[in-house]
Structure 1
Amino acid sequence: MTIDPVAALGFDQLVPPATVNRRSAREVFVTDHARIGPEEYAIAIRVAPDHPLWSDQQAPWHDPLAMTEAFRQAFVVIRHEYLDVKRGTPSAVQQITLTVPELAAFRADGSTPLQGVIKVRVTQTDETFDIAGDFIVGSARAMTLSFGSVLFPPKSYREIRDYQRSRRTVDAGSGGSGGSGGTADVKPVEPESVGRRDRGNVVIGPAVRPGRFPLLVDRTHPSFFDRDYDHIPASLLIEAMRQSALRSAAEAGLRAGEAALTRAELDFGIFVEIDVPAECAVTVTGRPGAVTASVAIDQAGVRVASGTLELTALNP
């Protein structure tokens, strides 16, 4: 009798936090995993319905953006458990593409976790990995997601980071920050204006100019900074892009608390420094029930990330 490795996956027990490069069990989504082909893997995922970040939505829906973190954790498991990559090897995301073909799969009742299986293919070329797959909830393909990631030898990573930090500090000091100034005294926008309930999850301040929002970085945030970073993590950058898009979408008739992220195509150029002011630039175009936003992160006169997001009305 042949056992289906996907059907055999369990959802009851989370893996230890260190398995997915986390400290707190609260931030762990992976419960089980298996190799299902030469370059194919299945990862069981469970996101708690009361997660302080990924369940902090005004609307009764699980947050599709939680799957970017789920796919990241899946890749951490794969590279360490199956590909013999040494733990602690530095990495960076280069690009992310996602679509949500079945938004109804993310509907929430407030007490049931978001639970499903990531089926993913991982291909490697030297130190670069391409990861592509689907998040399956029941029989529904809830999301397709792909991203590119590069691993660095520790010495090379330190050299790159030292150089980038020195250049960004010089550029910021010479007035190349785009005029945003420091953000220590900047207050966050109202949570409901970006689809949140908890003010602690708001990562942008009021616009400093039309379509330009300063990033707010709280190094004590329990989800974004659950482990040590020497740069702003991609999860916070993506959230800043989404919040900036939601803030701007109201002008196109899309209310923040009634919209979900359903598509994204994002490129990440270089690391974004924690201690240098940065801004999110956004322009939106609307059509009935949806908004497309062109988004970018600028720091010290450098465009460090850019792309497009699509926001769809939950009840158009």
Structure 2
Amino acid sequence: MSHDPAASLSFDTFVPPATVNRRSAVEVFVTDHTRIGPDEYAIAVRVEPGHPLWSDQVAPWHDPVAIIEAFRQAFVVVRHGYLDVRRGTPSAVQHLTLDVPELAAFRVDGTAPLQGVVTVRVTPRDAAYDIAGTFAVAGAPAMTLSFDSVLFPRESYREIRAYQRARRFAEPLAPAAEAKPFLPEAVGRRDPANVVIAPAAPGRPGRFPLLVDRTHPSFFDRDYDHIPASLLIEGMRQAALHTATEAGLRGGEAVLTGAELDFGIFVEIDVPAECVVSVTGERGAITATVGIDQGGVRVSSGTLALTEVR
């Protein structure tokens, strides 16, 4: 890898939204990109401090979860711009890991964007790609992240999805009961529009209904026939933050600093789903075991690490 991939990259102008499979320019993080090796790439990214979702957290830090989206956009740039994957090819993440070794890189000063360079190695594997790399701020590593992405034949994707759905939901399911969302401050948010879970129903502790707003400008900036991973991750994080507070493991604000997550099955938009969470640890360092349940099946699972900051 190049020792300083940022040297030749610009942070001045965002790429067109279609370049990263987005519609709104507000949701674009990539500003520049280049190949730095046979299977290595450097992508400049910038997250504006006023972003309606990724700048909404109560904690006085840029949101590390925004860089998951930056990595997704980086892979879109690589696969279409360098690997000749046809635009519109459906894909899905199956496994994701991240670690934040230097939280200070995400400190907010109130005006400056979060910007840095995503450097990734993209390795083809059958009908999938393994993506692994770092996010560096001013040349210093601030996050490591890896995920795999499965590509589906465009012509047969709808048939694949219909078959999966028919097998899982042979019988009609009862509609979800109307659920009132948490207050924003209970889940680390300021804007009620960004709250994606509701309190657990009586007799179902640790199981929080997932709220799906298909008009949300960030989670649903493009058409999906399933719940996107970004919304699942946010639901699990909000459930973990609330549960940690209830367990006395969180007195101040907490930032996501680690994750290991598996996304085994597509999560349907029109079927009720729950975020299932338990927490362990001590004040300041929290580990949450998380999952998404739908139709009696655990469709996503893993662990999150939360670090309390003051």
1:90 paired to 2:90: yes
Q: Would the alpha carbon gap of residues 55 and 172 (structure 1) be closer, same or farther in structure 2, given more than 3 Å must change?
A: farther
Map of 1:202 onto structure 2: 195
Map of 1:21 onto structure 2: 21
Equivalences for 1:161-310 in 2 at 5 Å?
161-171=161-171, 173=173, 182-183=176-177, 185-208=178-201, 209-255=204-250, 258-310=253-305
Map of 2:104 onto structure 1: 104
Q: Would the alpha carbon gap of residues 33 and 283 (structure 1) be closer, same or farther in structure 2, given more than 3 Å must change?
A: same
Question: Aligned AA for 1:244?
Answer: A
CA positional deviation for 1:256: 7.5
CA positional deviation for 1:257: 5.6
Q: For the residues of structure 2 that align with 1:171 and 1:265, how far apart are their CA atoms?
A: 33
SS of structure 1 residue aligned to 2:78:
helix
Q: For the residues of structure 2 that align with 1:272 and 1:138, how far apart are their CA atoms?
A: 37
Question: Aligned AA for 1:88?
Answer: G
Q: For the residues of structure 1 that align with 2:280 and 2:21, how far apart are their CA atoms?
A: 38
Unaligned runs of 5+ in 1: 176-180
Map of 2:157 onto structure 1: 157
Query: Pairwise CA RMSD of aligned residues?
Result: 1.7
Q: For the residues of structure 1 that align with 2:282 and 2:134, how far apart are their CA atoms?
A: 27
For the 8 Å contact 2:5–2:117, the answer to whether it is kept is: no
Deviation digits for residues 210-237 of structure 1 (CA, Å, limit 9, x no counterpart): 1000000000000000000000000000
Question: Aligned AA for 2:25?
Answer: A
Map of 1:44 onto structure 2: 44
SS of structure 1 residue aligned to 2:149:
strand
SS of structure 2 residue aligned to 1:45:
strand
For the 8 Å contact 1:277–1:300, the answer to whether it is kept is: yes
| Aligned residue pairs, count | 307
Moved over 6 A (4+): none
1:313 paired to 2:308: yes
Deviation digits for residues 99-157 of structure 1 (CA, Å, limit 9, x no counterpart): 00000000001211000000110000121100000000013211000001000001332
Q: Would the alpha carbon gap of residues 78 and 247 (structure 1) be closer, same or farther in structure 2, given more than 3 Å must change?
A: same
CA positional deviation for 1:6: 3.1
SS of structure 1 residue aligned to 2:31:
strand
SS of structure 2 residue aligned to 1:60:
coil
Q: For the residues of structure 2 that align with 1:272 and 1:113, how far apart are their CA atoms?
A: 33
TM-score relative to the length of structure 1: 0.94
